[in-house]
Amino acid sequence: MNYRSSEFLRDHIKSILDFYHPTIIDPAGGYFQNFLDDGSVFDGDERHLVSSTRMVFNFCKAYELFGDEEYRRRAQHGLAFVEERHWDQRRGGYDWTLKGDQATNQTNYCYGLAFVMLMHAAAFEAKIVDTSCAIDETYEILESRFWLDDDGLYADEASPDWSDLSDYRGQNANMHTCEAMLAAFEATASERYLERAYALARMFAIDLASKSNDLIWEHFTSDLEVDWDFNCNDPRNLYRPWGFQPGHQTEWAKLLLTLYEFRPENWMIERGSDLFDQAIALAWDGKYGGIQYGFNPQGEICDDEKHFWVQAESFAAAARLAIATGQQTYWNWYDRIWQYADQYMVDKRYGAWFRVLDRKNKTLSSAKSTAGGKCDYHTIGACLDAMRVLK
C-alpha cells in the first residue's frame, strides 16, 4: 500500500465519512454523536460541544475536498445547531453538554471555544459562510474571558456566569487554541491570529517545556509551575490525563511545522523534531506495534493503550518533519505508523477507525465514536495534512 499517495489519502477520508452516512444527521437538529462499531446510534439525545464543532469541521473539509453539495448541507446543519442550541445568549457562552433540549453542563471551557473557532475558520475557508465575523467574535470571547496577558497563555475554565476563573492551567486547551489560531490565519490572513499562535507555540514548546525535561507536560499551577500530581490517580482522564502524552508531543510537532510555513524560524523544526523523536523513542511498542498512550516523568509507560488519535497525529507530524528536514527516517516512521494503523486501527468491516485498543491491539469497547471523545476529526485532519505536504 502506498500510504504517501494523495489518492489513497483522499479515498481513506471518503471511507471515514461514509461510516457516518446517512445516520449522522438528526432531523431535530445537530448530529448524532454516539456510534457503535457497526454504525448504529446509541444515546441519541446526548450532544457535546467538542463533537458538534468537530463534525462541522469534518464536513467543511469534505466539501472543500470533494465539492459534494451534500457535505455543504451537512456542515450548515451542524453549524446552525452550534449557534442556536449550544450558544446561550443570556450568559454569552456555549453550553458544554446537552441532553435533548436541556443543558447539562454550562461550564465555560477554553478548549470548547478553540473548537468553535476552528469550526468557524473551516466554514469560512470552505465558503460555507461568506463572512469571517464569527471567527472574530469567538476570538474576542477568548481574549476577554481567558487570555492572561501577564502569563502569555489562556486559562482553562470559568464558571457558567464567568464570575470564577479556575486556577488550573493546562497545555491541551492552549494547544488546540494554537491550532484554531493557525486555521483562522489561513482563512482570513489576519496577522493577529498568527501572532497569537506564535506566542502559544513559544510558551509551551520552549518556555514551559524547559521546566519538564524539554517535553510538554499537561498541567500547571496558576503561577505556571509544573503540577506533577494533577490527576495522578486518573491517567486516562479524557481531556486532562496524567503523564506525558506522546500524542501531544507529536501534535505539537505538527503545529510547529505548520507555523513554520507562515513564519519560518529554525527552532520550530528543531523542537518539532525533538518532541517527535523523544515521544516515539519512549512510547513506540516494539513488541505489538503502535504508539502507547502515556509515560511517566521517568520515561516508563504508565498507560499502554493505543488510541486512534495518537497514531493519526503522529503520522501527520512525521510527514511534515520528513518534508521540513529531508530526513528519510521520518518517512520511515510515517509508513510504519500507517502500516500499524491500517492493520489494527482501521475497521475493515464497517469503516472508520476503532477508538481505543489494548496493548495487544484488541478492541476495548464496541463504541466507535462517543460524544466529546471521537468523531474522526483527528483522522480526517491528519489525512488532509499529509495530503497538503505531499503536494
Active-site amino acid positions: 248, 378
Q: Which residue blocks in the chain are alpha helix, DSSP H?
A: 6-19, 49-66, 69-81, 110-125, 133-145, 171-188, 191-202, 246-262, 266-283, 308-325, 328-340, 377-390
All three cell numbers of 370, joined, read 462517543
CB–CB of 254/316 below 8 Å?
A: yes
Cβ count near 11 (within 10 Å):
11
All three cell numbers of 236, joined, read 486516562
148 - beta bridge partners? Answer: 153
Burial state string for 88-110 with b = 16 or more CB within 10 A and e = fewer than 16: eeeeebbbbbbeeeebeebebbb
Cβ count near 355 (within 10 Å):
22
How big, in percent rounded to 5, are the helix, strand and coil portions of the chain?
A: 50, 15, 35
Q: Which residue in 5, 44, 15 sits closest to 379, CA to CA?
A: 15
Task: Give CA–CA dist 190/139, Å, rounded.
Answer: 12
369 - beta bridge partners? Answer: 35
